[in-house]
Amino acid sequence: MDDLIADFVAECREMLEALGGEIVAWEAQPDDRARLDNIFRFVHTVKGNCGFFEFPRLEALSHAAEDALADCRAGRRVPDGALVSAVLAVIDRIGEMVAAIEAGEDMPSGDDNHLIDALAPGAEGAVAPVVTAAGDAASKASVAPRTIRLSVELLDRVMSTVSDMVLARNELARRLRESEGDVHVDGAFERLSSIIAEMRDAITRTRMQRIENLFVGLPRMVRDLSAELGKQVLVDVEGGDVELDREMIEMIRDPLTHIIRNAVDHGIEKPAERLASGKREIGVLAVSARQSGNQILIDIHDDGRGIDGKKLVEKAIANGVIAKDDAAQLSRREQLALIFEAGLSTAKEVTAISGRGVGMDVVRSNVERIGGIVEVDSKPGEGTRMTLRVPLTLTIIPALTVSIAGQHFAIPRSAIEEIVRANGESVTLEHLGGAGVATIRGRRVPEVSLARILGLDTNVEEKDRTLIVLRPAGGDVYALSVDRIHDHEELVVKPAAPAVMATGLYAGTTLADDGSPILLFDPAGIAEVGGVRLEMQERTARIAEGPSAELTKATPVLLFRALDGGRRALRLAVVDRIEEVPSSAVKETAGQLRVQVGDAILPLAGAVKADIGEGKIRVFRLSDGVHEIGYAFAEVVDFATIEHDVIHAERPGEISGVSLINNEPAELVDAHWLFSNHVGAAVRRTEQLVCLVPVWDPWMQNMLRPLVEAAGYRVVDDPQDEAADVVIASLGEELPEDASGKTIWLRSEPESAGKKDQSIYRYDRAALLMALKTAGSGRGK
Amino acid sequence: MNELLLLVTIANERVALPAAAVESVVELEALTPVPRAAPHVAGLSALRSRVLTVIDCMRSLELGTTDCSDGIREAAVVELDGHHYALIVDLVEDVVESLSEPAPVRASMGAGWERVSHGMVETEQGPLLLVDVAALVAGVTEAKAA
């Protein structure tokens, strides 16, 4: 409410200032119609707002003035000097009251009746009391206005200057890194950096506009539309105070309008039809906006008849958009997604408002062009919900830099689903008729070789490349193979020249830290140029995905009989191999049972000294990537999977729980506990260590996280969740102040920047594991 | 009309660019190639935190390719529709004053020159071909499409 009052006061003040000149001119020429209109508008606005806020005195005053002026406008009364004076007195009083409201004071005392009476025709001037208050009011009015108006052009200029400043800072950062650093200079630069970042934030916000500007025209549009169509629609607009980049608002105006037209035209039924299906006569169209992270979600929900998925599919088959066989396998969601196909419209007849068969496909492509997504959800008979997801701003894009044949490019992070190594586990790359198909955990994904698309020669073997799984806005996955991935950066993206855009591959240009230009890819454009058949492949991807999702739920284990006769299981992944050694190789040394396997001496678990008889014993070699331990056992029973629930052990120990495996209970060996208890005292710990891995960084999440988890850490995403023992961060990234634990810095270059550089090359697995281990042991003690 | 002209050499030919259109003359160092772009787009370069689209004038005129391998090239920076372009030229010579309005060249020039010609202007250094910067930037592909 306070906000609204502040707005009201600001508006009144602005109008009063503008009116200052008008009033004087009107006084000189009481029959000037234009002036009269302006003054009338003012008192009218004040009256309207007062009713809302309960300022009865203000309302009475403005109402009286409005009446008098309305008479003049209607020609029932000729404005004369007396009326002008009376109106002026009223306006002055309004000014005083507004000032009082603003200052949070009580209303100026005094009776307004004489002012109102003075407005009556034939009344003689009773304006004297005003004069006494005038001085008082003037002093209050000198308070500086809360807002000023700026031209958008100026803001754009400031914005682009700030963008340049960010780039200049980046360059300076690079030069500072190259030269031998002076601590004071570095410190000053850090400060400058943070100021610039703050400034960029602030400037970005100045360009924000309330989405209200977009929503304000909707009720009227819907009213006109529904009247034309003989329907009754109630519009419910919510979230108008959500702010969005000014440019963005313009970009979503058309798609939003189109969706709403569709909803009224096709979604909401005629009153009779609604009544027949047991709904209220009046359809409800709810439009709401909210912010979620750095995205704005706009929901358009109608309670109409919904989208008939079957009809859509029939139509799609008839139009040759999909094959009949494929159609049968579509999920409900995919059926609905057909609405975005070109040339589909379920409306029986084409109307002037929508349903020309061009529309939703255009809506989608428009939204995708600005990095947004359109989603649709619908229940037949209950209504349809369309959701637009758009980024907050266009100019600064988080991106991943990659290289191919030595040249760097950027990929918008929003499109990246995951990053995998071409030769990694659960990834296979095959060629079918020259086209690449990657199978990533059972999911078939078309592979696009960036080198081939760009016509660049690369000396990186195909198997050594990195696959970036991209989902261009809209939802069709493909894998882009690149030589290397480098870094995550926030890039200030500028449109590229038409000759560059004409390739269809790029979304813009930006400058890297080192000042060299980088091209930003348009993921959808690459798919198109790369010849990925989008819609079709999404469906096959899903089909391949189905069974594999089942598989991943079941953990493969090795079922064995322990020396003590227990039926146990070890997760297959931790078992490196099985060795057979003579019992003489098992010795108790340094307070622990150890086994010699070849040249290595491993701690031995799964046995006590008494268990070791004569002859040979069999040992699992377990590995966590750094350490190995042996686990003695009697015989391997089977390979199996854990399909049933695991009943967890009450206390941490060698056995983490019990589960039914091949219909018999088996104990699950806790490999983590084994390692923590057998690999030196340093890593002995009672609770799992916590490692913070940035959630926004796909590389970290997809590539690093499993490694960190394998090293025995519990990974958290949010520093707020709990204090982390170890924080992993990319070099150059800003850390929250309270990075209480030890930080492991990762750099993307194999070579270190100098002796002072404590960072670790991100693919130096051994060093990483070592760092994780030392960080952990430091705390464990 | 005393328009100022920038005297440059492209493909061993002395031509004039309208000096008003030229923001600056720079020496380009590293070029970032733009794969799949039109052949006359030599690449991208950065100038004071701005990205320049570098146009190889020789290619735009279909007169061969400028050899960029030896590193530094001179280029004239122009702005068109909000985008900045660097036009690679052999040499930037001088600024001269035009002494006449552009007049049609009545002799037959090469196809490339014909396309970018704005006509002939008289200067103290003799008649020069006035080059249409926009046509030079557009290159041959767009011209054909049009």
Set of chain B residues whose Cβ sits within 8 Å of the Cβ of A509: 44, 51
Q: Which residues of B touch A503 (CB under 8 A)?
A: 34-37
With residue A148 as reference, give the H or E element that holds it: none
Beta bridge mates, A399:
A412, A489
Nearest-angstrom CA–CA distance, B39 and A769 = 48
DSSP state of A734: P
Q: What is the pLDDT of residues A625-683, one digit of tens each?
A: 677 788 888 887 777 777 677 777 777 677 777 877 777 788 888 777 777 777 754 34
pLDDT at A328 over 70: yes
Q: How confident is the model at residue A719 (pLDDT cuts 50, 70, 90)?
A: low
Distance between CA atoms of residues A629 and A594, nearest Å: 9
H/E element, A338: none
Name the residue among A396, A633, A408 with its Cα closest to residue A517: A408
pLDDT value for A541: 41
User: Is B49 in Cβ contact with A511 (below 8 Å)?
Assistant: yes
Say if residue A263's pLDDT is above 70: yes
pLDDT in tens, A735-761: 655 555 577 777 777 776 665 667 777
A346: enclosing H helix or E strand: none
pLDDT in tens, A273-288: 888 888 888 888 999 8
Which of B35, B38, B46 is nearest residue A499 as measured by Cβ atoms? B38
- DSSP per-residue letters across A164-226: HHHHHHHHHHHHHHHSPPPHHHHHHHHHHHHHHHHHHHHHHHHTEEETHHHHTTHHHHHHHHH
DSSP string, A571-588: EGGGEEEEEEEEGGGEEE
Residues whose CB is less than 8 angstroms from the CB of residue A224 and which lie 6 or more positions away in sequence, other chains included: none
Q: Which two tokens stand for residue A338?
A: 């057909």
Looking at per-residue pLDDT, the higher value among A767 and A450 belongs to A450
Helix (H) or strand (E) holding A695: none
**Do the beta carbons of residue A497 and residue B85 sit within 8 Å?**
yes
Higher per-residue confidence, B15 vs A99: B15
Q: CB neighbours of A488 closer than 8 A, spacing ≥ 6?
A: A398, A399, A400, A401, A413, A696, A697, A699, A730
Task: Answer yes or no: are the C-beta atoms of B8 and B22 closer than 8 Å.
Answer: no
Joined together, the tokens standing for residue A561 give: 């009989």
pLDDT tens-digit map of A298-310: 999 988 888 888 8
The answer to whether the CB atoms of B38 and A164 lie below 8 A apart is: no
First-to-last C-alpha distance (Å) of chain B:
32
Query: Which tokens sit at A69?
Result: 């002026």
Residues B111-127 have pLDDT tens digits of 888 888 888 888 888 88
CA A385 to chain centre: 20
The whole-angstrom separation of Cα B56 and Cα B46 is 16
CA distance B86 to chain A (A): 12
Distance from CA of B53 to the nearest CA of A (A): 7
Q: What is the mean pLDDT of residues A364-388?
A: 82
Instruction: Check CB contact under 8 Å for A499 and B139.
Output: yes
In angstroms, the Cα distances linking A262 to A226, A376, A520, A643 are 11, 13, 34, 48
**Does the distance separating the beta carbons of B46 and A516 come in below 8 Å?**
yes
Distance from CA of A662 to the nearest CA of B (A): 57
Assign A523 to helix, strand or coil.
helix
Answer whether A454 sits within 8 Å of B35, measured CB to CB.
Answer: yes
Question: Which residue in A455, A511, A517 is closest to B36 by CB distance?
Answer: A455
Q: How far is CA A88 from each of CA A47, A58, A62, rounded to the nearest angstrom? A: 16, 14, 11
Distance CA B102, CA B108 (A): 16
Mean pLDDT of B50-69: 81
Distance in Å, alpha carbon of B46 to nearest chain A alpha carbon: 6
d(CA A338, CA A321): 9
Of the residues B34, B40, B144, the best mutation for testing chain A's interface (the one with the most A CB atoms within 10 Å of its CB) is: B34
Q: Is the pLDDT reported for residue A393 higher than 60? A: yes
- Cβ pair A678, A578 in contact under 8 A: no
Which residue of B lies nearest to A520 if distances are taken between CA atoms?
A: B34
CB A119 within 8 A of CB A64: yes
Per DSSP, the three-state class of A111 is coil
B137 in Cβ contact with A498 (< 8 Å)? no
CA atoms of A505 and A204, how far apart (whole Å): 27
CA distances from A338 to A86, A316, A334 (A): 67, 7, 7
Of A454, A495, A509, Cβ closest to residue B44: A509
Q: Which helix H or strand E contains A146, and what residues bound it?
A: none
Helix runs in A659-697, H state only: 671-678
User: What pLDDT does A195 receive?
Assistant: 92
Please provide the DSSP assignment of B7-45 as one string: EEEETTEEEEEEGGGEEEEEEE---B--TTS-TTEEEEE
Q: If pLDDT is split at 50, 70 and 90, which confidence band does A265 have?
A: confident
| Alpha-carbon gap, residue A766 to A764, rounded angstroms | 6
- At A531 the pLDDT is 75
Tell me which residue in B35, B50, B138 faces A456 most closely, judged by beta carbons: B35
Query: What is the crossing angle of helices A2-28 and A81-103, to 10°?
Result: 160
Residue in chain B closest to A167 (alpha carbons) equals B49
Tokens 């690459």 found at = A526
For position A757, what pLDDT does the model report? 64
| Whole-complex ipTM | 0.86
Instruction: State the pLDDT at residue B85.
Output: 92
Determine the residue of chain B that is closest to A518 in CA distance: B32
Tell me the three state secondary structure of residue A453.
Answer: helix
Pull the structure tokens for residue A113.
Answer: 């009746």
Indicate the range of A65-74, A101-110, A539-548 predicted with least confidence. A539-548
Q: Which residues of A touch B138 (CB under 8 A)?
A: 499
What pLDDT band is residue A687 in, cutting at 50, 70 and 90? Answer: low
Token pair of A346, please? 């379920």
What is the residue-averaged pLDDT of chain A? 76
Q: How confident is the model at residue A544 (pLDDT cuts 50, 70, 90)?
A: very low
Residues of chain B with C-beta less than 8 angstroms from the C-beta of A454: 35-36
Q: In B, which residues are within 8 Å of A516 by CB distance?
A: 30, 32, 46
Question: Which element (helix H / strand E) includes A319?
Answer: none
| CA dist list (Å): A483 to A281, A403, A405, A458, B113 | 61, 6, 7, 8, 41
Contact flag A519-B32 (C-beta cutoff 8 Å)? yes
Q: Which one is predicted more confidently, B23 or B2?
A: B23
Please answer whether residues A568 and A669 qualify as being in contact, where contact means their C-beta atoms are separated by less than 8 angstroms: yes
d(CA A358, CA A341): 9
Q: What is the DSSP letter of A355?
A: -
Interchain CB distance below 8 Å, B83 and A495: yes
Q: Nearest CA to A58 among A19, A110, A97, A21?
A: A97
pLDDT digits (tens, 9 = 90+) for A143-185: 555 667 777 788 878 877 887 788 788 778 878 888 877 888 8
**Substitution target from B49, B57, B77, B85 for chain A, most A beta carbons within 10 A:** B49
Confidence at residue A353, expressed as pLDDT on a 0 to 100 scale: 47
Nearest beta carbon to residue B32 from set A407, A494, A505: A407
pTM beyond 0.90: the answer is no
The per-residue pLDDT for A720 is 63
What is the per-residue pLDDT across A512-535, written as a single tens digit (0 to 9) for each? 766 788 898 888 788 878 777 644
Residues of A in contact with B45 (CB under 8 A): 517
Q: Buried b vs exposed e over A210-234: b needs ≥16 C-beta within 10 Å? A: bbeebbeebbeebeebbeebebbbb
Cα Rg of chain A, angstroms:
36
> What is the model's pLDDT at position A685?
42
Would the CB atoms of B34 and A453 count as touching at under 8 Å?
no
Tokens of A84: 């002008």
CA torsion, points A477, A479, A484, A487, in degrees to nearest 10?
A: 0
Q: How many Å apart are CA A239 and CA A300, to the nearest integer? A: 12
H/E stretch holding A692 reads strand A689-692
Report pLDDT for A547: 35
Tokens of A58: 């203000």
- C-beta atoms surrounding A618 within 10 Å: 17
Q: A164 to chain B: which residues are within 8 Å by CB?
A: 48-50
More confident site: A120 or B35: B35
* DSSP per position, A646-667: PEE-SS-SSEEEEEEETTEEEE
